[in-house]
A and B are shown apart, each in its own frame.
Chain A
Amino acid sequence: MTRRGFLAGTLGLLTVCPSNRLSAQSPDSLPGTGPSGKLWDPSRAGRPFDPVSAADNDAAIQAIEKQIHCTCGCNLDVYTCRTTDFTCGTSPAMHRRVVALAGQGKTAQQILDAFVQQNGVSILMAPPKRGFNLAGYFVPSLLIVAAGVILTLVLRRWSRAAQPAAPATFPAEVPASPHELERLRRELDQLSG
């Protein structure tokens, strides 16, 4: 059977995926059976994958994973890592752990705590807001606000300095010869506008 004929047949048969929630997808038949053909050389396509489960697309699970730092050395969060390169073995393992913990009925905070307990605070993408970490969050903003206040004061001083000084330095009307004014105008005309 040609591929086109094969596709026409399958397309006709299938009425899948009414939504993007994968729980709604038709249940998988046994892997390797059904309408999927065998690959010529599966080893070229990287490690074998499991079909996507509902938990993989669960927004709550993803939200938790976005707060956990992947330990494979990629510097990304677990969610981004496991959905980016697809060669990493670490982030899918961490993902399974999150799913398992969620399966035990733990809340997001409890899951994060469990990770912190095992791997230390560095497992969180952003440090918890307590103790010295508060410095991490607030030093830049405080410095900017302080610098803004200082800048305002300095500007005020500079503009005050200019007010009384201006008339003294430059007499309101400089007696100017028409000759000079004429030259000044010539010079101005030479400037491109």
Chain B
Amino acid sequence: MLELVAGVLLAAGLVLFVLRPVLRPTTGLEAGEAEEAGADEGDDPDDDLSPRAVALRALKEIEFDRATGKLSDADYDALKQKYTAEALVALRAERGTLTPGASPGIAEPRAVTRPQCPTHGPRPETDAQFCSECGRRLASAAAYCARCGASLEHEARYCHACGARVAA
């Protein structure tokens, strides 16, 4: 008899617990929200699978693989170039899409003028340096030579300081 009573009480309690979010949705949501705050603490950086993180980890790995002798210098240079480009593209894309404050160290105040691509028109990203459709360098972007770092003139095809070819 005692068992039956205990069982019924348990059942009643749990049914109430389960149905409460449906019967009184607001309290349930608040409870859920409260729990969610801080749930991301302790997240593993390895779990970040954004293109930026993937490219950065790739760069790291390339470096390490060369240090341990797995990559030849030629392979290293090629991969390095490729993944640096990828990381830069990801960085730029992310700066455009992320809300300020979401990722500390990335968000920086920017002018709100929309850069234009000659073929694809105004870009949605306020700070785009390259067109996210075709990858062309936008006229508004301040350009530097990838080899010597000298500041380039607009539309320059070769660097005036070192003569390196300017891509795209």
| A contact residues vs B (CB 8 Å cutoff) | 166, 170-178, 180, 183-184, 186-188, 190-193
Contact A170 B60 (CB under 8 A): no
Contacts of A186 in B (CB 8 A): 105
**Are B146 and A174 touching (Cβ within 8 A)?**
yes
Inter-subunit contact B144/A177 (CB<8 Å): yes
User: A35 to B152, alpha carbons, bound, how many Å?
Assistant: 107
Give the shortest distance, in Å, between A131 (CB) and chain B (any CB): 50
Alpha-carbon distance between A135 and B36 when the two chains are bound, in angstroms:
55
Asked if B149 and A171 sit within 8 Å, CB to CB, the answer is no
Chain A CB within 8 A of B131 CB: no
The docked-state distance in angstroms from the alpha carbon of A192 to that of B87 is 17
A166, A175, A180, A192: residue with the most chain B Cβ atoms closer than 10 Å: A175
Indicate whether B88 reaches chain A with its CB closer than 8 angstroms: yes
Interface size classification for chain B: 35 or more
Contact B168 A171, beta carbon cutoff 8 Å: yes
Interface membership of chain B positions 145-168, coded 1 if the CB is closer than 8 angstroms to chain A and 0 otherwise: 111010010000000000011111
14 A-B residue pairs with Cβ-Cβ distance under 8 Å, sorted by A, are A166-B82, A170-B86, A171-B168, A173-B146, A173-B165, A174-B167, A175-B144, A175-B152, A177-B143, A180-B92, A183-B91, A187-B52, A187-B56, A191-B45
Encoded as 1 (CB less than 8 Å from any A CB) or 0, chain B from 62 to 101 comes to 0010000000000000000110111111011000000000
Q: Which of A172, A184, A190 contacts B167 (CB 8 A)?
A: A172
Residues of A within 8 A of B92 (CB): 180
Q: With A170-B82, A173-B167, A193-B60 given, is the CB distance from A187 to B105 under 8 Å?
A: yes
Question: Is B137 an interface position by the 8 A CB rule?
Answer: yes
- 9 closest Cβ contacts across the A-B interface? A171-B167, A170-B85, A173-B146, A174-B85, A177-B144, A173-B167, A175-B143, A170-B82, A175-B146
Contact of B144 with A176 in the complex, beta carbons under 8 Å: yes
In the complex, the answer to whether A173 meets B81 with C-beta atoms within 8 Å is yes
B59 adjacent to chain A (CB < 8 Å): yes
A188 touches B142 (CB 8 A): no
